[in-house]
Structure formats: C-alpha cells, structure tokens
Structure 1
Amino acid sequence: MRAEARDVRRRFAEGEPTAAERAVAFAAALPPAIVVAVYRAMGSELNPEPLIRALVSAGAEACLPVVLERDAPMIFRRWVPGDPLDADAAGCPAPLPLAEVVDPDLILTPLLAFDDYGGRLGQGGGFYDRTFAARPGVIRIGFGYSGQRVERLPMESHDVRLHGVLTEVGYTAARKV
C-alpha cells in the first residue's frame, strides 16, 4: 500500500507544481493556533514552505519536529524560516539543539494517503503516531495533494486519527467514524 501511495504522490508532485501555493488560499480554514508545527519536505512530500510563510506572516510561530530517539515521541523546537538545520536521529532536517523546545497547538503532518475519517498513511516509522498519542490535545492536520485521498484506510490500534486535511483544493475536517 505504501509503495503504491508513494507512486501516486510522486505523480502529483510532478504534475501539480503549484499545489503548495494553491493550498495557502485555504489556510484561513485551519483551526486557530499560535504555535504551528510544520515539516521540511523530503522527496515528493507536498512542500509546506509557502504555507509556513503565510502562517508566520499572519502571526503564528513555527516549530519543527525533532526525533531524539527512534522509539519515542518527537519534540518540537522553535524555528523561523532561514534558521540553520541539521539532521535529527531519523535523518530529517531539524533545528539545532540550542533552539527553544515548544509545545505546538497544531501539528501539520506529511502523508502518503488519507481518508475522510481522519485516517493517515505515513512512512511507517510511527514517529507522528507516537507523538500524537503523547499529545492528545493537539490539533492534527494532514498536508498533501487532493489526489492522495483514498476511500478508507485500515487503522490499527496505535494509529491516531487526524482532525482534518489541507490540500490544494481546500481544507476538509475529518468525518466522525
């Protein structure tokens, strides 16, 4: 399932070069937040950089996830676009250790696929699910291409549902299961 979802996402990344910019038009529909956790796009993930700039311009503070231990929830460090980054324990770009650790109100997460019920298919490492489980009150929003939507994803006991998904065609709140 992941291999197929990666192929779909790659095709959308190649065929929808302005998708990230178009998603910004729907940022006002996101639940309100003061501190927003974003991510640095890797591979064919939808690049949240235009959204980050818009949220920061609107007064939000940004932070990035940091993996310190592979089997633990991530922490978040304050980040301003342009700040230096270094690879964390998972090899993802992350703020340097001297950056302040913060608690986000909203976590924007990349995904391979999503459904209308808050189901999210990630890369399989469990980093976001462990983090969501450790922070049950945080707002969880997927960020991806509209074409990554599937009818229904199988959910396991450790999977934590999203509150909604933002794509280049709009924001959709998750439906009740």
Structure 2
Amino acid sequence: MTDKQALRSEMRARRKALALVAPYAAERLAGFADDLPGAVVHALYLPIGAEMDPRPLAARLAYEGYDLCLPVVTAPDTPLIFRWWRPGDDLAPDAAGIPAPLPSAREMQPELILTPLLAFDGAGGRLGQGGGYYDRTFAARPEALRVGVAYAGQRVDRLSLLDHDIPLHGVLTETGYTALP
C-alpha cells in the first residue's frame, strides 16, 4: 500500500467518524454561503458515503437565485462537464454510475466549483478519492474558483502534491470559509 493509499484509508475513516459526531454540520456549513467568493454559477455535488453534504447549501443558493449545476462523468479519464440542476430535479446515472442531471439539462460553465475531498491543508492541497476527475476538470477550467467542502476535522498539516495537483482557492467547512494562498 502506498503512502497516499494509506492516507486515503485513514481519512475515509476520519471523515466517517466526523459525520457521525456532527449530524448537523451540513446545515451549519450552509450558514456560511455568504462568505463564498463571488460567483453566479455554482457547481456542487451530491454526497457519496460520508462526504460533507452540500444539499442544504444548494437549497440556500437556489433560494437566493444562484445558478446551480452538478458534475457529470461522460467518459473515463476526461474532465467533468456540468449540467443545470435544482434541488428536486430528476437524476440519472452518468458514465460512472453517479446520479447526475439528465442529458437534456443545459450544460453550464461554473465560475465556482465546490468539490468533495478526503483531506486538505492550509496551502490549498486537496486529497481526493484518486480517480483524477476533479484534477482533470481543474486543469481544463483554470479560471474557475476551486473550493473544497469538508468537515473542519479533515484538515491535515501538509499534503504531498504531485505536478498535476491543482491547489484549492479555499475551503468551506461547518466552521466557516477559509481563503487559501
């Protein structure tokens, strides 16, 4: 097992424990919506497993009139595309089997991409699941603001980044929004 695989395993367990002890973290996180960097089109995600749930945040952003979209996997080893979405819209599995907006939904160009993660550090480092979808997407959309969504307890001292890893601009947790260098 590599160091990164071991860290992913450790952080999945930590995130699961954080989810159990903080059942209202997603609602608290939504309370910091006004602290996010300015953008009209927000890309969110639907949580898998113990990922921080951005649906309360999505409901607030939708109520406030922001355009929302969700990621869609169209093929392996390609960047994500994003399609228009509102809470309650019908979804269908994308190429990775993840619920996504229907193909008839309009494709969007998000200005701010909210991304799930396993760990983050104070320098903008992000440890994802390892599939590379968000790394490819960030590389294809360098103008988009990249904001991790996590439990505050997912922060680590330092992550080892590879050349293809693109840092986050900030992190939103149940304790607030933090801009990163």
Which TM bucket (shorter chain)? over 0.9
Q: Tell me the residue number matched to 1:14.
A: 20
1:138 aligned partner = 144
Aligned residue pairs: how many? 175
The corresponding residue for 1:114 is: 120
Q: 1:24-76: per-residue Cα shift (whole Å, max 9, x none)? A: 12111100111100000010001100000111111111100000011110100
* Equivalent of residue 81 in structure 2, options 75, 79, 82: 75
Matched ranges for 1:24-173 at <5 A: 24-173=30-179
**Identical-pair percentage:** 58
Give the letter for the 2:162 counterpart: E
TM-score normalised per structure 2: 0.95
The separation in 2 between residues aligned to 1:130 and 1:172, in whole angstroms, is: 24
Aligned equivalents of 1:90, 1:114: Cα separation in 2: 24
Distance 1:114 1:90 in 2: 24
- C-alpha distance in structure 1 between counterparts of 2:165 and 2:158, whole Å: 14
1:127 Cα deviation from its structure 2 partner: 0.2
Alpha-carbon offset, residue 19 of structure 1: 0.3
Return 129-138 or 23-32, whichever deviates more: 23-32
Scaled by the length of structure 1, the TM-score of the pair is 0.97
| Distance in 2 of aligned mates of 1:13 and 1:70 | 29
In 2, the alpha carbon distance for the partners of 1:35 and 1:56 equals 10
Letter in 1 for 2:74: L
| Aligned residue type for 1:144 | A
Inter-partner Cα distance in structure 1 for 2:31 and 2:157? 25
Is 3-12 or 87-96 further displaced after alignment?
Answer: 87-96
C-alpha distance in 1 between matches for 2:93 and 2:133: 15
Q: Which amino acid is 1:33 matched to?
A: A
Rounded to whole Å, the distance in 1 between the matches of 2:98 and 2:154 is 22
RMSD: 0.6
